[in-house]
Amino acid sequence: MSRAREVSLTAVMAGGVAMAVSYAGPLALVLAAASGAGLTAQQSASWVWAISMGAGLTCIGLSWWSRAPVITAFSTPGAAILVTALPQYGYGQAVGAFLVSGVVVTLLTATGVFERLLAWLPEGLVAAMLAGTLFSFGAGVFTSLPGSPLLVAAMLLSFLLARRWAPTYAVVWALGVGLAVAAATGGLHVDLPGVGWASPELTVPEFSPGALVGIGVPLTVATLAGQYAPGMAVLHAAGYRPDSRVVCGTTGMASVLLAPFGAHAVNPAAITAAICTGPEAHPDPGRRWIAGVSCGAGYLVVGSFGSTLVALFTGLPKALVATIAGLALLSSLSGSLARTVAAAEEREAAVVTFLATSSGMTMGGVGSPFWGLLLGVAAHLLLRFRFHPGSRLRLLLRLRGEPARFGGEHSDLETARGTKVGHQLSDDATDRTPGDAEPTGDRVVRESLGQQA
């Protein structure tokens, strides 16, 4: 095998790993939301097909177009929100909320308004909403422990050991160990009569004010803050400069087109993108785009068997699904909690947001993520806003151009130790930990979202 083919193989493998990690935990959230809402097997399979096709096509198209490893995925924070929010509404109403959310995301990212909105909304409050949403999943690992101590303990131990020695593959290891323990103890009840091709099912969107507020608003905020900003920051931290408006606008349009088939959100990936943007994928940065194409191809293949995936996950022990979902979200939860209490001036309002969101309350048919964010903003204004001459002018200036703060020093992604050279980022050569995306804080996100040359 020639050297060129050998190193290209590493890029293909990196894309395959990124695809596997994308499915390992988040898919459990999607199917948990579908099960809680009483969706049929056909509707669930269509949902899996839609998010897989959206991620696969955008991954391949954007990577080929930009010659950069543009990894896309389906929104994990969005899926987490839907686990509690989706059962409160009809499926047609949820699809309508998906559609409207996709349109809003596309408009905000393609026009550059997103950056200015983030500058106005306190980071700690958005982080608190995400943390409150994810809290129940983290707790689910330990509430599952008394009923299935061997299974949960084995998965937790393997996850922690892998986090120390091979952090990129920690979730995959935990899932593999969980499947092995469940099989050994007779806990697997998977009935696969045969390989079934996915058959997408079109659902007519229904536009309900309750669903638009209870699903659409939290889904939009969580996807933009939790996926778009850090996702673009990962690419920029690795020295890639694809037009963010094209990348974000394309994934937004994919969400809109596939929403009637069940796709809740397609967006730039963050953590899995780091697998494909470093030298481990390919020593030549100009050849790492192959990893993006490989990842996208994997999405298309796996998504084509959506009904088989649904049948497989349906037969898994509930404790295994709950544990893998909680472990997959552990890094996101810890990062969100850190940002929740990071800024002293935002701390009390952020805690209000966290408590209200994690309570799971419902008022007026609207779920807790929206109320948590609304109450947090109200608390922040009451505690911090000062009415004095010039305040209106400063607020207007902030809305017009203050840089967004997401992806900063308290982000899930580490702050880079590199330096900027022209339009590239020179990373610390001694730090090559897989999965360490290392964005450069405010500057990277500002450049990622609308500061194109």
pLDDT band with cut points at 50, 70 and 90 for residue 49 = very high
Measured between alpha carbons, how far is 166 from 163 in angstroms, rounded to an integer?
A: 6
pTM for this model (two decimals): 0.66
Task: Provide the β-strand partners of residue 268.
Answer: 72
Measured between alpha carbons, how far is 324 from 62 in angstroms, rounded to an integer?
A: 30
What one-character DSSP code corresponds to residue 285? G
Mean pLDDT, residues 270-290: 81
Q: Residue 258 above 90 pLDDT?
A: yes
Give me the pLDDT at residue 442, please.
Answer: 44
SS (HEC) of 3-22 = HHHHHHHHHHHHHHHHHHHH
Q: Residue 450 above 70 pLDDT?
A: no
Give 57-108 pLDDT, tens digit per residue.
999 999 999 999 999 998 888 888 898 889 889 899 999 999 999 999 999 8
Considering only residues 43 and 423, tell me which one the structure prediction assigns the higher pLDDT: 43
Mean pLDDT, residues 267-282: 79
Mean pLDDT, residues 247-272: 90
Mean pLDDT, residues 313-335: 77
Give me the pLDDT at residue 57, please.
Answer: 96
Measured between alpha carbons, how far is 369 from 336 in angstroms, rounded to an integer?
A: 14
Give me the pLDDT at residue 404, please.
Answer: 43
Give 190-246 pLDDT, tens digit per residue.
665 555 677 889 999 999 999 999 899 989 988 887 778 777 867 877 788 888 888
Mean pLDDT, residues 338-357: 87
Measured between alpha carbons, how far is 351 from 358 in angstroms, rounded to an integer?
A: 10
What one-character DSSP code corresponds to residue 366? B
Measured between alpha carbons, how far is 273 from 304 in angstroms, rounded to an integer?
A: 22
pLDDT band with cut points at 50, 70 and 90 for residue 299 = very high
Q: Residue 444 above 50 pLDDT?
A: no
